[in-house]
């Protein structure tokens, strides 16, 4: 070809193109007008008269290209696309300059890609250390507690600070858990690729990350909410990292201790909004406690081999048939059934929530019953998925049927409301146990039940004749006691 088709094939930003045009002007070049444009006569004089001058030009052009980066795909417009060959020496010099700038740009791009990849990997490792998905679920439960404890207006700014502090505390607890269990995690297929067992991060680095997250989280809770919320957050970190984590290798009771840890975040949200913990907070925490048991028992059965290899003590490891594990999951699914009713009686949810919560509990009980009927990987996985659906739907229903909380329901009020839902005789007996006795007749009825508990057929009898007889007997005994006391005084 008479003209060079594209001296350099690259893609430059407009700023780099302008720099090239400036260079061409400084070197007495006339910008071309397309692919076939001829350079000026000054250029030919320069090329034929001064080899050093041409080398300097190529050096300047190569420097500009190296700064801009050679990415491929477009021809440089103007002067470079219209250059004629300047003889063998010119071609060689230009080719060498192009190769040099391309190599430099490639190295720069490779280093930039490595730096970006390293940062992404570090962020990914931090997310694994903090168990970000699990921590996000913890934040969701804390926000549910905040909403349930709020009055007419929800302080969304304070709620955001509460969620941020809770996230920091959860991240710190999860990181310390992994620092303690590095050796165990190396033995388990589902955890051996975590940052610590995989060797991508050292223990000191992880401890520093946990310290920063924990300190920042507790400071946010203390500064933006109140001391009670911050104390609960700090206690939860200690309970998870210093109690629950070691117990995982000692006793199967660790699952119940872990459920206590999971029940604290809604208390943190409640304390942040209300400044105190009342009966409603305990109801919400109980929902989280009972929900965790079928959830984690199903997971422990699914990962039974992994937990055994890792040296952890789980109920599924001492349960060859799976029946004990499944029945424990079923019991706690039953315990969660009245949570909706208790929420209504506590005054922070409307009546439809009780029915919705009962339906969700029935769904969870069905999955637990299937697991108990035939313990297997498939039935455990179905129960696990059912538990994953239960919690977010329950919290969403609570938000939809929320009643502005005036914190007027204390323990005595809640106990009285619960007893009102029970049969009269059973209500009386439970009322005595709870310290809620309405009148003397009710107390007398409770005494009757206690005296005749050996006879189940009459244990809950409450006829008028029996009550009258018991009352007369009680009055007679009281009168005899008074007479004896007076006689002793006279003596």
d(CA 152, CA 346): 17
Q: Locate 62 and state its tokens.
A: 């190569």
Task: pLDDT band for 99, please (50, 70, 90 cuts).
Answer: low
Tell me what the pLDDT averaged over the chain comes to: 76
Q: Are 419 and 436 in contact (CB under 8 A)?
A: yes
More confident residue, 65 or 412: 412
Q: Are 131 and 190 in contact (CB under 8 A)?
A: no
Of the options 3.40.50.620, 1.10.357.140, 3.30.365.10, 1.10.287.470, the CATH number for the domain spanning 131-276: 1.10.357.140
Closest C-alpha to 254, from 188, 307, 306: 307
Question: Would you state the pLDDT for residue 288?
Answer: 95
Which residues, at least 6 apart from 375, have a Cβ–Cβ distance to it below 8 Å? 301, 321, 322, 323, 325, 326
Cα pseudo-dihedral 448, 449, 451, 456, rounded to 10 = 130
Q: Are 403 and 348 in contact (CB under 8 A)?
A: yes
Which residues, at least 6 apart from 43, have a Cβ–Cβ distance to it below 8 Å? 28, 29, 30
d(CA 54, CA 107): 26
Place of tokens 């905040």: 146
Measured between its terminal Cα atoms, the distance across the chain in Å is: 142
**Is the pLDDT assigned to residue 133 strictly greater than 60?**
yes
Q: Are 194 and 174 in contact (CB under 8 A)?
A: no
Q: Locate 408 and state its tokens.
A: 């007027």
- The pLDDT tens digits for 420-469 are 666 666 666 656 665 554 444 444 444 444 444 344 433 334 445 554 66
**Is the pLDDT assigned to residue 415 strictly greater than 80?**
no
Lowest mean per-residue pLDDT among 64-68, 257-261, 481-485: 64-68
Task: pLDDT band for 396, please (50, 70, 90 cuts).
Answer: very high
Task: pLDDT band for 338, please (50, 70, 90 cuts).
Answer: very high
* Domain ranges across the chain: 14-114, 131-276, 413-475
Q: Are 93 and 7 in contact (CB under 8 A)?
A: no
- Neighbouring C-beta atoms of residue 283, cutoff 10 Å: 24
What percent of the chain shows pLDDT beyond 70? 60
Q: Enter the pTM of the model.
A: 0.65
SS3 state at 9: strand
d(CA 311, CA 185): 10
What residues form DSSP beta bridges with 75? Answer: 9
Closest C-alpha to 266, from 207, 328, 329, 348: 348
Element (H, E) at 129: helix 87-130
d(CA 95, CA 45): 21
Distances (CA, A) of 380 to 151, 262, 332: 40, 21, 15
More confident residue, 330 or 44: 330
Q: Are 382 and 371 in contact (CB under 8 A)?
A: yes
Render 406-446 in DSSP notation, one character per residue.
-----HHHHHHHHHHTS-HHHHHHHHHHHT----HHHHHHH
């Amino acid at each position: 070809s008479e003209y060079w088709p594209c001296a350099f094939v690259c893609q430059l930003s407009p700023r780099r193109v302008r720099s090239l045009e400036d260079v061409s002007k400084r070197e007495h070049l006339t910008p071309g007008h397309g692919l076939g444009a001829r350079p000026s006569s000054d250029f030919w004089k320069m090329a034929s008269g001064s080899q050093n001058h041409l080398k300097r030009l190529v050096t300047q052009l190569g420097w500009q290209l190296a700064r801009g980066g050679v990415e491929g795909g477009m021809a440089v417009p103007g002067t470079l696309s219209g250059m004629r060959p300047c003889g063998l020496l010119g071609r060689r010099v230009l080719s060498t300059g192009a190769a040099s700038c391309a190599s430099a740009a490639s190295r720069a791009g490779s280093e930039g890609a490595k730096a970006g990849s390293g940062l992404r990997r570090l962020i990914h490792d931090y997310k694994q250390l903090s168990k970000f998905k699990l921590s996000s679920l913890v934040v969701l439960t804390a926000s549910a507690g905040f909403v349930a404890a709020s009055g007419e207006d929800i302080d969304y700014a304070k709620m955001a600070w509460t969620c941020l502090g809770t996230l920091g505390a959860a991240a710190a607890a999860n990181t310390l858990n992994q620092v303690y269990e590095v050796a165990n995690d190396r033995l388990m297929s589902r955890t051996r690729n975590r940052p610590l067992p995989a060797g991508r991060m050292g223990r000191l680095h992880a401890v520093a990350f946990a310290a920063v997250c924990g300190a920042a989280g507790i400071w946010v809770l203390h500064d933006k909410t109140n001391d009670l919320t911050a104390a609960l957050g700090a206690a939860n970190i200690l309970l998870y990292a210093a109690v629950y984590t070691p117990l995982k290798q000692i006793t199967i009771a660790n699952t119940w201790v872990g459920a206590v840890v999971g029940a604290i975040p809604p208390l943190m949200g409640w304390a942040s909004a209300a400044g105190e913990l009342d009966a409603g907070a305990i109801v919400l925490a109980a929902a989280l406690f009972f929900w965790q048991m079928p959830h984690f028992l199903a997971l422990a059965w699914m990962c039974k081999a992994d937990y055994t290899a890792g040296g952890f003590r789980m109920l599924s490891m001492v349960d060859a048939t799976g029946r004990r594990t499944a029945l424990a999951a079923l019991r706690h699914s039953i315990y969660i059934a009245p949570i909706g009713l208790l929420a209504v009686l506590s005054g922070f949810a409307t009546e439809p929530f009780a029915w919705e919560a009962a339906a969700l509990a029935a769904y969870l009980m069905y999955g637990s019953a299937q697991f108990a009927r035939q313990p297997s990987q498939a039935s455990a996985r179905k129960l696990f998925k059912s538990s994953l659906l239960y919690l977010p739907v329950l919290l969403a229903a609570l938000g939809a049927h929320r009643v502005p909380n005036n914190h007027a329901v204390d323990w005595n009020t809640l106990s009285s409301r619960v007893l009102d839902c029970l049969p009269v005789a059973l209500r009386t007996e439970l009322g005595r146990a709870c310290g809620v006795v309405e009148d003397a007749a009710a107390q007398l009825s409770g005494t009757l039940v206690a005296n005749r508990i050996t006879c189940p057929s009459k244990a809950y009898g409450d006829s008028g004749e029996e009550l009258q007889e018991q009352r007369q007997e009680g009055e007679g005994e009281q009168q005899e006691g008074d007479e004896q006391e007076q006689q002793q005084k006279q003596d």
